[in-house]
């Protein structure tokens, strides 16, 4: 298929770019890190969303090379950031089907010099996982390396609590749907319960999809540690991310 062939050339051709979406401390509103989000500038088709090409890359196995490139690139960038900042990288479940993920991460850290605790890997609960024991083994190895692990889109998977109990997660990323759609009378109770669960299990919480101050204030009052969303910033090029660190006028 055309897109598949083009995607193979895209890494070498410099058509893939990483954007960074700021994560802030919800109490102080200070920048604490950023999530890496990929963009593909296709020479003829224009900007293609990762929602389109990541599944393609997963089908064809290209996600392995792509995933290695993203990790190397993100660690290199983050190694130039202040020590307090963490970079979060989405990792496809397909990358976990390959037992060399630990070697790939180790190499990305070694080449960049980034301390392991400043890299956070975001893992989505997924039905694509065919070998949960391998995933578990790899996650424990990553944890021993000192890398942070977060469960992405928390609450939307099909076996979240067992997954959550048995795997060494540091952080819970509360899915945007819980943050944005608060029309149901139970929406706030659900948010409060997720945050309390994470707190009692000594895990950080990142609320995603925060689009207004009302949501930011509510989440802060419920004890959510970090926030991410258009209210703070869209995903931006790295220069723009770092400009947010400079004291304002």
Interface with ligand G (CB under 6 A) = 21, 36-38, 49-51, 54, 70, 90, 92, 152-153, 176, 208-211, 229-230, 235
From candidates 6, 125, 152, 175, binder to Mn ion by CB under 5 A? 152
Asked if 175 interacts with Mn ion (CB under 5 A), we say: no
From candidates 21, 77, 90, 171, binder to Mn ion by CB under 5 A? 90
Question: Residue 18 CB, nearest distance to ligand G (Å)?
Answer: 7
Choices 92-100, 122-130, 142-150, 232-240 (CB under 5 A): range interacting with Mn ion? 122-130
8 A C-beta contact, residue 122 and residue 92 = no
HEC profile of the chain? CHHHHHHHHHHHCCCEEEEEEEEEECCCCCEEEEEEEEEEEECCCEEECHHHHHHHHHHHCCHHHHHHHHHHHHHHHHCCCCCCCEEEEEECHHHHCCCCHHHHHHHHHHHHCCCHHHEEEEEECCCCCCCHHHHHHHHHHHHHHCCEEEEEEECCCCCHHHHHHHCCCCEEEECHHHHHCCCCCCHHHHHHHHHHHHHHCCCEEEECCCCCHHHHHHHHHCCCCEECCCCCCCCECHHHHHHCCCCCC
| Per-residue mark of binding to Na ion, 149-178 (x: CB under 5 A) | ---xx-------------------------
Please list every residue from 180 through 239 that binds Na ion, using CB under 5 A: 208
Binder of residue 70, out of Mn ion, ligand G, Na ion, none (CB less than 5 to 8 A by kind) = ligand G
Binder of residue 235, out of ligand G, Na ion, Mn ion, none (CB less than 5 to 8 A by kind) = ligand G
Other CB atoms within a 10 A radius of the CB of residue 194 amount to 21
From candidates 6, 122, 125, 175, binder to Mn ion by CB under 5 A? 122
Question: Residue 16 CB, nearest distance to ligand G (Å)?
Answer: 9
Q: Which is nearer to Mn ion, 6 or 154 (CB)?
A: 154
Which residue ranges make up the site for Na ion (CB under 5 A)? 152-153, 208
Residues lying near Mn ion in the complex (CB under 5 A) are found at 90, 122, 152
């Amino acid at each position: 298929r055309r897109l598949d062939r083009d995607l193979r050339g895209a890494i070498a051709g410099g058509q893939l770019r990483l954007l960074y979406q700021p994560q802030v401390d919800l109490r102080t509103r200070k920048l604490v890190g950023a999530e890496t989000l990929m963009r593909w500038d296709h020479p003829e088709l224009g900007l293609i969303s990762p929602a389109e090409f990541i599944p393609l890359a997963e089908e064809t196995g290209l996600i392995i090379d792509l995933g290695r490139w993203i990790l190397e690139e993100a660690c290199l960038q983050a190694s130039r950031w202040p020590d307090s900042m963490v970079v979060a990288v989405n990792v496809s479940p397909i990358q976990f089907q390959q037992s060399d993920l630990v070697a790939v991460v180790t190499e990305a850290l070694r080449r960049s010099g980034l301390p392991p605790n400043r890299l956070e890997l975001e893992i989505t609960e997924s039905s694509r996982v065919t070998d949960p024991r391998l995933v578990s083994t790899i996650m424990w190895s990553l944890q021993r390396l000192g890398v942070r692990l977060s469960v992405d889109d928390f609450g939307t998977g099909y076996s979240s609590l067992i997954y959550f109990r048995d795997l060494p997660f540091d952080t819970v990323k509360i899915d945007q749907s819980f943050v944005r759609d608060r029309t149901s009378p139970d929406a706030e109770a659900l948010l409060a319960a997720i945050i309390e669960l994470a707190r009692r299990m000594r895990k950080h919480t990142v609320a995603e999809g925060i689009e207004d101050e009302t949501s930011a204030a509510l989440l802060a009052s419920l004890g959510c540690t970090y926030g991410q969303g258009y209210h703070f910033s869209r995903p931006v090029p790295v220069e723009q991310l770092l400009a947010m660190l400079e004291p304002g006028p």
